[in-house]
Amino acid sequence: MQYIAEIMPALLKGTWTTLWVFVITLVCSLPLGLVLSPGLGSRSKNPLAVALRWLLSAYTWIFRGTPLLLQMIFIFYGLPTIHIVFDRNSAVLVTFILNYAAYFAEIFRGGYQAIDKGQFEAATVLKMSRWQTFRYVIMGQITKIVLPSIGNETINLIKDSSLVYVIGIGDLLRAGNIAASRDVTLVPYLLVGVIYLFLTFILTVAQKRVEKRFAFYR
């Protein structure tokens, strides 16, 4: 018990890192993904739209197709060779936001395409503008469709945040790592596991609540 009390401050400090990576990434990547998704999902043959679609597809392919760890290494150690320099924290946030926005953009695209074409037509004949159609008819329906997938990704994000150790940032897992190798015991890892479970438990409850809020219609 005394040992737990001894290492707890270090673990909580690590948890703080985990939390800010999580919160800032989520707050930035969700809207970014939402904004990018129409460009990704558009079927327009307009050359500009086609070019944008290609660009966005390349972006999501690269960021979903390579390990997050590798992306962080490239952005922190690789980009300085072309004179783009980030400090550690910014490198983490840039990588995480770009990576998660790519996933979110694909999830929102799926949600957008799952909506019946008739809903758009109904809004059109009711004289709604494109923006009104999106805001008042489509957005709520997309949200309901994507909630389970978004919930999954947020839980992944909590766990993925442990990868920041690769560019030398001390998060929860790294704090546990240090204590475990110093004191030759598994107890820190056990505590780390409990803290992760606690965090994901909160997320799961939150997700259930939000889904329930959208359960009033089918």
Partner 1 sequence: MLELSGISKQFGSRNILNGLNLTVPDGQTLAIVGPSGVGKTTLLRIIAGLESADAGTIAWDGQATIPEQLREQGILGVVFQGFELFPQYTVRRNITLAPTLTGATKAAADARANTLMEQLELTDQADAYPYTLSGGQKQRVAIARALALDPQVLLYDEPTSALDPALRDNVAALVNQLKQGGMTQVVVTHDMDFARSVADNVFTMPTGTEA
Per rule CB under 8 A, is residue 166 in the interface with partner 1? no
Helix ranges restricted to H, the chain: 2-41, 47-65, 68-73, 88-114, 117-125, 130-132, 139-160, 172-183, 187-213
Among 137, 147, 178, 187, binds partner 1 (CB under 8 A): 137
Q: Which of 43, 47, 83, 118 binds partner 1 (CB under 8 A)?
A: 118
Q: Are 10 and 178 in contact (CB under 8 A)?
A: yes
Please tell me whether residue 114 binds partner 1 under the rule CB under 8 A. Answer: no
Contact yes or no for 21/93 (Cβ under 8 A): yes
Q: Which of 125, 168, 184, 212 binds partner 1 (CB under 8 A)?
A: 125
Is 128 or 147 the residue whose CB approaches partner 1 more closely? 128
Q: Is residue 132 within the footprint of partner 1 (CB under 8 A)? A: yes
Least separation in angstroms between residue 96's CB and partner 1 is: 32
The tally of CA atoms less than 13 A away on the side-chain side of residue 194 is 10
CA pair distance 44, 79, nearest whole angstrom: 34
**Residue 125 C-beta: closest distance to partner 1, Å:** 4
Binding residue (CB under 8 A) for partner 1 from 1, 65, 82, 116: 116
Task: Identify which of 29, 15, 174 has the alpha carbon closest to the alpha carbon of residue 102.
Answer: 29
Binding status of residue 144 toward partner 1 by CB under 8 A: yes
Specify the residue, 28 or 210, whose C-beta has the smaller distance to partner 1: 210
